[in-house]
């Protein structure tokens, strides 16, 4: 998208120019220290919650859940494509392309592992 100045606009801007990240962080967080603490808290909470959820999954449900999560992981490719397309500098475009590559490896590898696990359950003969 192009703004009135003839430069590229990511669409994440608020009313004040140059405040792209403010649209991504809740309004009650002020300053960079609180932002880092808040994001670190979310990161630690997601690690704990992920560990608790994965440890409670029985082995019979593991394959179908992995198949479903691999399908959902395809969304990361869409996000990586958006990040690569909105890059204003060469460095951000390179990071976006690397994100596309790694997200694709993640999704394809997940499907390969799921397929291999499903073959283990098929009857021989």
Name the residue range of residue 38's domain: 1-56
> Do 94 and 125 fall into the same domain?
yes
Residues 64 and 93 in one domain: yes
Q: Are residues 79 and 114 in the same domain?
A: yes
User: Do 66 and 21 sit in the same domain of this protein?
Assistant: no
What local confidence, expressed as pLDDT, does residue 5 receive? 64
- Closest to 78 (Cα-Cα) out of 96, 94, 90: 96
Residues 12 and 33 in one domain: yes
pLDDT at 13 over 50: no
At residue 49, does pLDDT exceed 90?
A: yes
Say if pTM beats, i.e. exceeds, 0.85.
no
Assess whether 37 and 96 both reside in one domain.
no
Total domain count for the chain?
2
Mean pLDDT of the residues in the chain: 76
pLDDT digits (tens, 9 = 90+) for 98-123: 988 988 888 888 888 878 877 887 77
CB 110 within 8 A of CB 69: yes
Identify whether residues 45 and 65 lie together within a single domain: no
On whether the CB atoms of residues 77 and 104 are closer than 8 A, the answer is: yes
């Amino acid at each position: 998208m192009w703004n009135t100045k003839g430069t590229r606009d990511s669409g994440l801007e608020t009313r004040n120019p140059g405040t792209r990240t403010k649209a991504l962080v809740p309004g009650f967080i002020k300053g960079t220290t609180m932002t880092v603490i808040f994001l670190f808290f979310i990161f630690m909470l997601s690690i704990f919650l992920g560990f608790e959820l994965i440890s409670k999954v029985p082995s019979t449900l593991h394959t179908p859940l992995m198949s479903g999560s691999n399908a959902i992981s395809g969304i990361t490719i869409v996000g990586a494509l958006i990040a690569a397309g909105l890059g204003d500098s060469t460095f951000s475009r390179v990071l976006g392309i690397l994100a596309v590559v790694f997200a694709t490896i993640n999704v394809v590898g997940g499907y390969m592992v799921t397929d291999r696990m499903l073959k283990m359950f098929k009857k021989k003969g």
